[in-house]
């Protein structure tokens, strides 16, 4: 264990902290944009994500349309096998993947294309928002104010 300590320390990136000049630890898995507080607040208020959207899978796109069928099968399976509720998400994922893999290849290919199309649309919207920034229309600004202070009426 003692021999691995220097290696672990070498993995951790340190950057100079502008406030006190000392080195501070930076999370390497965190995107660089999350270190900017202003962009994080704007993203939160506008409901946009800071990071590039992740690629959608065909199973996850398909399962949104089959939610009731998957849920019914999961409940039957959990009741029959006596599975506890805290394992429900894992069982739901397993059942959805099994049901998706049981589909004909042509249907699965259609859902792969749909997932690719949805991902491309999300990325285009994210890139547009990155270029243009937040909307300055009065209606959008009012929605942002309402998100910031929902209990207050001006």
Question: Distance between CA atoms of 154 and 147, rounded to whole angstroms?
Answer: 13
Q: What is the pLDDT of residues 1-38, one digit of tens each?
A: 556 555 555 555 565 666 666 666 665 555 555 456 66
Asked if pLDDT for residue 39 goes beyond 80, the answer is: no
Question: H/E/C letters for each residue in 79-134?
Answer: HHHCCCHHHHHHHHHHHHHHHHHCCCHHHHHHHHHHHHHHHHHHHHHHHHHHHHCC
Q: Which residues pair with 24 in a beta bridge?
A: 15
Predicted local confidence at residue 15, as pLDDT? 58
Q: What is the pLDDT of residues 73-122, one digit of tens each?
A: 999 998 898 888 888 999 999 999 999 999 999 999 999 999 999 999 99
The dihedrals phi and psi of 24, each to the nearest 5 degrees, come to -130, 155
Q: What is the pLDDT of residues 131-144, one digit of tens each?
A: 877 777 888 778 77
Predicted local confidence at residue 130, as pLDDT? 79
Question: Distance between CA atoms of 130 and 14, rounded to whole angstroms?
Answer: 28
DSSP, collapsed to helix, strand or coil, labels residue 15 as strand
Question: Distance between CA atoms of 126 and 54, rounded to whole angstroms?
Answer: 11
Predicted local confidence at residue 59, as pLDDT? 96
Predicted local confidence at residue 27, as pLDDT? 58
Q: What is the pLDDT of residues 44-78, one digit of tens each?
A: 666 677 788 899 999 999 999 999 999 999 999 98
Q: Which residues pair with 14 in a beta bridge?
A: 25
Residue 41 tokens read as 């607040």
pTM, rounded to two decimals: 0.61
Question: Distance between CA atoms of 92 and 72, rounded to whole angstroms?
Answer: 10
Predicted local confidence at residue 139, as pLDDT? 85
């Amino acid at each position: 264990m003692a021999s691995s300590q220097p290696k672990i320390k070498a993995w951790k990136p340190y950057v100079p902290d502008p406030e006190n000049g000392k080195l501070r630890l930076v999370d390497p898995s965190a995107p660089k944009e999350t270190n900017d507080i202003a962009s994080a607040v704007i993203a939160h208020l506008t409901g946009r994500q800071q990071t590039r959207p992740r690629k959608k899978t065909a199973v996850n796109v398909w399962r949104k349309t089959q939610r009731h069928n998957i849920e019914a099968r999961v409940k039957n399976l959990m009741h029959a096998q006596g599975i506890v509720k805290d394992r429900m998400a894992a069982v739901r994922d397993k059942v959805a993947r099994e049901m998706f893999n049981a589909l004909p290849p042509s249907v699965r290919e259609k859902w792969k294309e749909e997932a690719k199309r949805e991902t491309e649309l999300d990325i285009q919207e994210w890139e547009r928002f990155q270029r243009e920034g937040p909307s300055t229309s009065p209606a959008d600004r009012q929605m942002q104010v309402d998100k910031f202070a929902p209990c207050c009426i001006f």
